[in-house]
Structure 1
Amino acid sequence: MMKPVLGIETSCDETAAAVVDGDGRILAEAVLSQLGEHAPFGGVVPEIAARTHLRHLSEQVRHTMAAAGIGFTDLGGVAATSGPGLIGGLIVGCQFGKGVAIASHIPFVAVNHLEAHALTARLPGLVKGGAPFPYLLFLLSGGHSQCIAVTGIGQHVRLGGTVDDAAGEAFDKVAKLLGLDWPGGPALEKIASEGDPTSHPFPRPMARRPGCDLSFSGLKTAVAQTVLRIGPELTREQRADVAASFQQAVVEVLADRARHAMDMMQGRFPRANLLVVAGGVASNAAVRAGLADAAMSRGFRLVAPPVRLCSDNAVMVAWTGVERLRRGWSDSLDVNARPRWPLDILEAVAG
């Protein structure tokens, strides 16, 4: 039986650790949010994020290992997010993971953050009947919006993606235009529930076009022009209407792009019938509902992980470590953290 794997996640502004056993059971998990450190600046400050990871990671790991009830020598490996992300935080987590591997004489796995999101659906018990390859991943976060065919561990085909802003980035920027608290996505979703989604006829960029590329900069500009036209002192009702109309536009665009992506997926992989949505934007209830309808229209099942596993977490990192170590794959200790690490190049590494 495979021993448990320690996962470490420090790619942005969450300091996270988790222990997952070879059967996919989560023995312990912990996430330390840095919202308090970054809120005064209205966004993540990379230097502050790195220093906060450095200050808290060792204690976070000790706490998680204690909660799991095991020692470092009981581990079968340690997996750390090594890219893509903010380079300072990646270095902290990657180097810490290497230190654990050296001290405990266990393998080290350098995890691609995007692949970790992609493989979350394969956690045992998350999807009824499991999540066999191939399946379609719709990754929606603050830094990434991509449609990816996941055909195996380390094997991914990019079908399309954003040509400008990511979906989460658009949510945050519009929230800032409306004077909402940071992080913008949850704040905008909350106030949108009070508004009329038909009050502002915002554009649906890229809708009905061939392929599954996305664009949000034009939509963001339309919102900015609307806010400017209304004036500097928006009432709560006006903010709610703008937020609801923007969110509805995003939902419709994502649903349209997902339908196109599913058509592309079945054209390449006729047996595929699973749509997995992951990333922070997958926590949005309206987005989930819109994608569920889109999936049903194409005969796909929609899988959206529990909210806590949509945003950055170490469970997905540990599980990716399990998946790779099962195949005998690990990384040398001279591997570098990478701020940019496209999924497309993983196949060559895995092969």
Structure 2
Amino acid sequence: MNNTITSTYILAIESSCDDTAAAVLHNDKVLSNVVANQDIHQEYGGVVPELASRAHQQNIVPVVTAALRKANIDKNQLSAIAFTSGPGLLGSLLVGTSFAKSFAMGLDIPLIDVNHMQAHILAHFIDEEGYSKPTFPFLGVTISGGHTQIVRVDDYFTMEVIGQTIDDAVGEAFDKSAKILGLPYPGGPLIDKYAQLGDPKAFPFTKPKVGGLDFSFSGLKTQIMYFVQKQQLADPSFIDNRRDDVCASIQYTIVNILMDKIKKAVKETGITQIAIGGGVSANSGIRTALKASESKYGWTTYLPKFQYTTDNAAMIGIVGYLKYNELSEKNAYQDLGISAQSRLKI
């Protein structure tokens, strides 16, 4: 990394799904981190891509304006603009990509594309008081509504996916299970909430058998659906009477699936540093299990600040800052021909 760059201001833009976000970083410190949520999707029980892209168009200028204002800097002080180029919903990505290109062109400053999945992992390198940063190598565990991955991280931009879901993501498993129970979208946080009131061993669910370090959650979803249907036939008030226990049992099973694979990854790689990221990393069950692993297995775990778990622009900004330093050494900034990609590998 080029240590001669002492003062860098990065404007970051994130629009991969249904949250419009902008942040300003001064080097690796977050000066502002603004997110506009889209409540309209709640009535549909999930994100509607066309509605998401339209909302991004409405939100992006006010969000960027707010981020600059809260950071107390002028746009002419910016060193570069970082943006999410993928993966994500193409229509949503196009809004952020187009705005970033136009703004960078107007200010005549570098444009830096960021992989959303790398950003979830590298969010741990934001300078935050009270939070330590992992050292290389470490295992990055990205758990969200759209992704479930175990990544070996040997350097900022040297990463290898060593395990991933073969069907549904863990966040989708939580949300779809919540829907089966009649809970509103997004249901994952509600399962976490009710799980803390229930018995995690009340209803044992079978864990899927998947080889290697890969995951599968579609079978578990189906198992939960048939279980609830069977119980409701016998007792129409089953969900009302046993909601907390069902939620606790679902969460207990999912957390154990995750922990089993993480333990296997540690055994196979010999790496005992674990850093989690993504929206599901806010789940109390997985956080408790990971913290317990420090004394139980001798691991060192890194849990991100809650505001950096869900989709946000600060994580895009830290990657932008790290890439800005790396690209400065080569004078090789991204040209304006970069395009958004709905599918993008680490």
Q: How does 1:93-242 map to 2 (within 5 A)?
A: 93-125=96-128, 130-206=133-209, 211-231=212-232, 233-242=237-246
CA distance in 2: counterparts of 1:219 and 1:330, whole angstroms? 45
Aligned equivalent of 1:269: none
Query: 1:114 offset after TM fit, Å?
Result: 0.2
CA distance in 1: counterparts of 2:229 and 2:132, whole angstroms? 50
Structure 2: 5+ residue runs without aligned partners? Answer: 1-5
Q: How does 1:280-295 map to 2 (within 5 A)?
A: 280-295=279-294
Query: 1:25 offset after TM fit, Å?
Result: 1.4
Q: How does 1:1-351 map to 2 (within 5 A)?
A: 1-22=6-27, 24-34=28-38, 36-125=39-128, 130-206=133-209, 211-231=212-232, 233-266=237-270, 272-328=271-327, 330-343=333-346
TM-score under structure 1 length normalisation = 0.91
Percent of residue pairs bearing the same amino acid type? 37
Structure 1: 5+ residue runs without aligned partners? Answer: 267-271, 344-351
Whether the 8 Å contact between 2:22 and 2:35 is mirrored in structure 1 is yes
SS in 2 for 1:276: strand
CA distance in 2: counterparts of 1:103 and 1:229, whole angstroms? 61
CA distance in 2: counterparts of 1:239 and 1:128, whole angstroms? 35
Runs of 4+, deviation exceeding 4 Å: 126-129
SS in 1 for 2:53: helix
* CA RMSD of superposed structures (Å): 1.6
Cα deviation per residue 1:232-267 (whole Å; 9 max; x = unaligned)?
54342322221111110011111111101112221x
CA distance in 2: counterparts of 1:4 and 1:312, whole angstroms? 21
Query: 1:127 offset after TM fit, Å?
Result: 7.2
CA distance in 2: counterparts of 1:313 and 1:120, whole angstroms? 10
CA distance in 1: counterparts of 2:51 and 2:319, whole angstroms? 27
Query: 1:123 offset after TM fit, Å?
Result: 1.5
Query: 1:303 offset after TM fit, Å?
Result: 0.5
Whether the 8 Å contact between 2:30 and 2:126 is mirrored in structure 1 is no
Cα pair distance change 1:234/1:257, threshold 3 Å:
same
Whether the 8 Å contact between 2:29 and 2:128 is mirrored in structure 1 is no
Whether the 8 Å contact between 2:133 and 2:302 is mirrored in structure 1 is no
